[in-house]
């Protein structure tokens, strides 16, 4: 079963939110919540809010406990770009791009194969 939550037109650049979203995907919901709660980045707030919305959807609409869920995918897509201009030298103007994001989190009750289970393992080098 897949449970979804989408946050649209979030005022953060997608590039800044994608790395944290990649870390979340494949983890248990409890681990993903802990990851965003203790992260100081601005993206953690928006990803956490969307994750909590997906958990609420699972509990209220599908009668599934949050303890059994995994983050199947956490995606950050490009939203519309607000274009602003600032005055520059010699009477010209420089563009400023204020980017937005669409955040989509999909939860599943089955573990995701090949995903991070929690702590990362360090790859052994040839000499070790």
Q: 10-residue block means of pLDDT along the chain (128 residues)?
A: 96 96 94 96 97 96 92 96 97 97 96 66 59
User: Which runs of E-coded beta strand occur in 67-115?
Assistant: 70-87, 93-108
In order of their start, the domains of the chain are: 2-108 (3.90.470.10)
Contact 74, 21 (CB under 8 A): yes
pLDDT at 86: 97
DSSP-assigned letters across all residues of 26-49: TSBHHHHHHHHHS--SHHHHHHHH
Contact 68, 101 (CB under 8 A): no
Show the tokens assigned to 59: 């509990």
Predicted TM-score (pTM) of this structure: 0.85
pLDDT at 112: 82
pLDDT at 127: 63
75, 103, 47, 39 alpha-carbon torsion, rounded to 10°: 60
pLDDT at 103: 98
pLDDT at 117: 57
């Amino acid at each position: 079963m897949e449970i979804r939550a989408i946050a649209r037109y979030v005022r953060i650049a997608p590039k800044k939110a994608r790395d944290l979203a990649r870390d979340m995907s494949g983890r248990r919901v409890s681990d993903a919540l802990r990851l965003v709660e203790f992260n100081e980045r601005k993206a953690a707030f928006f990803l956490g809010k969307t994750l909590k919305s997906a958990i609420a959807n699972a509990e209220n609409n599908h009668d599934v406990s949050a303890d059994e869920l995994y983050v199947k995918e956490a995606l950050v897509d490009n939203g519309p770009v607000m274009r602003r201009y600032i005055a520059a030298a010699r009477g010209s103007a420089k563009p400023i791009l204020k980017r937005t994001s669409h955040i989509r989190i999909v939860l599943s009750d089955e573990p995701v194969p090949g995903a991070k289970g929690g702590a990362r393992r360090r790859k052994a080098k040839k000499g070790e």
